[in-house]
Structure 1
C-alpha cells in the first residue's frame, strides 16, 4: 500500500488581551479561537485550574476528544466492513494528566464506548473490533502513554 501524507492547517488566535497584553500573569485572559477553513470556530481557553474560562474548550478537552473520535471513526469503519451494524455509539472518555514540576503530561486515557448493534449481529466480533480500531487509530499510534478501552456492546431490542 502506498503511503500518503496529509496536512492539517489550523489557525489559533489569542483573543485575551485585556488592554495591557501579558504585562503580568493575572493581566490577560487565556481565551482564544481555533479555526480550520470554513468549519465552525472553537472557542478555547485554558483549563480553569490554569486561570481559564471553564465554559470554553481547553486543549486537554480537545486532546481527549480527538483520541475518542479517532477510535470511534475507525471502529465504525471496521464494523461496516465486517457486517456489524452499529445503531448507536457513545464514549464517556476520561484523560488523566499530571501537572508536576517536571513537564506535565498525560499518563492515561480510558475510552468507555457503549455500542448498540443490530439484533442478531455478532457481539463478540463487535467487541473484538475495538482492539483493531485501537491498533489502527492514527492518534493512539502517536502518543507515548497507554490508552485503555473498556467497551460495552449490546444488542438492540427488536
Structure 2
C-alpha cells in the first residue's frame, strides 16, 4: 500500500573473539552470525581480502544477493500478472567495489545476468521488457547509489 512503512530487524553477533578481543588488528576473527526471528542463522565474515573466512557469506555478497533476489521477485510477479509463465530463473550476478587510497570503498556497479526459461509460446519480447519494470520497482535497487544493469537471456521451454 503506498505510503506504508515496513520495519525489519536482524541481529548480527560477532563470534570472532579469539581470546584477546580486538587488541591486535590481525588477532581477531571477522566471523559473525546473522539472525532474524525464527529463521536459520547465516554464517558471516568479511571478504577473504579483509581477513575473512571464505567459507562464510560476506556483506558484499549479501548486498549483491539482495539486489538479485529483489529483482527476481518483482520480475516473477510482473510476469505472472502479464500471463507469462516463467519455468526457471537463475541469476549469475556480479558487482564491482572500488577502494580508495584511505581504504574506504563503495560499490560502483552491478550486473544481473538472469537466465530464464519461459513456457513455449510466451512473448519473449514482453518478458524482456518486464526486466525494466522489475528494476524500477525493486526496493533494493531503489536504495543503492550505483548503477545496476540487467542482461537477461530468455529461452522458451
TM-score where L is the length of structure 2: 0.97
Distance in 1, Cα, partners of 2:156 & 2:21: 55
Deviations 1:21-55 (A, max 9, x none): 00010110000000010001000000000000000
Residue in structure 2 matched with residue 10 of structure 1 by the alignment:
10
Distance in 2, Cα, partners of 1:123 & 1:2: 31
Residue in structure 2 matched with residue 43 of structure 1 by the alignment:
43
Deviations 1:50-91 (A, max 9, x none): 000000000000000000000000000000000000000000
- Residues 63-82 of structure 1: matches in 2 within 5 Å? 63-82=63-82
SS at match of 1:98: strand
Question: Offset at 1:2?
Answer: 3.5
Residue in structure 1 matched with residue 91 of structure 2 by the alignment:
91
- Residues 4-153 of structure 1: matches in 2 within 5 Å? 4-102=4-102, 103-153=104-154
Aligned positions, number: 156
Deviations 1:87-114 (A, max 9, x none): 0000000010011225310000000001
Which 4+ runs in 1 deviate beyond 6 A? none
SS at match of 1:81: helix
Distance in 2, Cα, partners of 1:31 & 1:100: 25
Q: Specify every segment of 5 or more residues in structure 2 that has no aligned partner in the other structure, as ranges.
A: none
Distance in 1, Cα, partners of 2:37 & 2:2: 28
TM-score where L is the length of structure 1: 0.97
